[in-house]
Amino acid sequence: MYFPQNGDFIDIHVHGGTPSSGIFILESLMAHESKIPAAVAGVAFTYGIHPWFLNESNYKQLIISVESLITHPDIIAIGEAGFDRLRGPSPELQRRAFEDQIIISEKIRKPVVVHCVRAWDELLAVHKKLKPEMSWLIHGYRGNVKLATQLISKGMYLSFWFDFVLRPGSGDLLRHLPTDRIFLETDGADVDIKNIYDKVASDLDLSVDELKSIILKNFNRWRIG
C-alpha cells in the first residue's frame, strides 16, 4: 500500500492517471468496469458504484463486487458513489446503492468519495439517516459558500472541480472555508495538478509547500475517518 509522502502533490481524484515523481494520485476504479488495482508507487485506489452506470439489472452484482474487492489493501476508500439528477437511474435506486455503500464503508472502516450533482438534499438526508463515522469527501465541488459551509459542518471534505478552481473568482469561496477541509483534483483531465496548487496557494496567500503540508494532513485525517 502506498500513501503520499512529505512534499508530494496530492491529486485526490483521478480517472486513468499516470503516476509521476512527486505526485500522489488517488485513482478511481468503477465497479462496472471490473478493473483490479495493481500495486504502483505513487498510486492508491478507490472503488465504488458510479450512479451513471447503475441500473436495476446490474445493481446486485455491483454491490457484490464492491463487497468483495473493497478489502483489497491498495483500495483505501469507497467511491465515487452518490447521486446525479442529470444522469443515471431513478433517485430511489441511486439512494439504495449509495446507502448500501455507506454501510460497507462503516463496516470496513474506509472513507468515501462522493459524486453529487444537484442532489444535495438526498445526500444530506442519507447522512442524517445513517450518521456515518467515516469521512466523506465531495469530489468536483463547484458550489457556493453557503452549501460548502453546510457540508463541512457535517464533517465532510471538499475537493474542488479543476476548471472551477482555476477561475479567477474561485478565490472568494476558498478564502471563506477552513483549509483543513480542502482537497484538489484533476479528475483525469488534461491539466497539471501543480498549476492548480499554484493558483490555490496564491488565492490563500500561502506558499505551495504550505499548501502541500495542509493537504497531506487533510489526507491522513480523512483516510482514518
Within a domain: 80: yes
Residue 21 is part of which domain span?
A: 9-223
Please give the average per-residue pLDDT across 154-165, as a whole number: 97
CATH label of the domain that carries residue 109: 3.20.20.140
Does any domain span residue 77? Answer: yes
Phi/psi zone of residue 35: left (φ > 0), alpha (ψ -120 to 50 degrees), beta? Answer: beta
Residues 107, 109, 110: CA angle, nearest 5 degrees: 120
CB-based contact 173:144 (threshold 8 Å): yes
Asked if residue 52 is part of any domain, the answer here is yes
Strand partners, 83: 116
Residue 126: all three cell numbers together: 442519507
Q: Is residue 125 part of a domain?
A: yes
Reduced to 3 states, what is the DSSP secondary structure of residue 30?
strand
Neighbouring CB atoms inside 10 A of 146's CB total 9
For 3-54, write each residue's pLDDT tens digit. 999 999 999 999 988 878 999 999 999 999 977 788 888 999 999 999 999 9
Residue 3 is assigned to a structural domain of this protein: no
Q: Specify if 4 maps to a domain.
A: no
> pTM of the prediction?
0.96
Task: Enter the C-alpha cell of residue 139.
Answer: 469530489
Residues 129-137, mean pLDDT to the nearest whole number? 98
CB-CB contact of 154 with 127 (8 Å): yes
CB 184, CB 197: distance < 8 Å: yes
- For residue 18, the model assigns a pLDDT of 81
- When divided into structural domains, the chain yields a total of 1
pLDDT of residue 188: 87
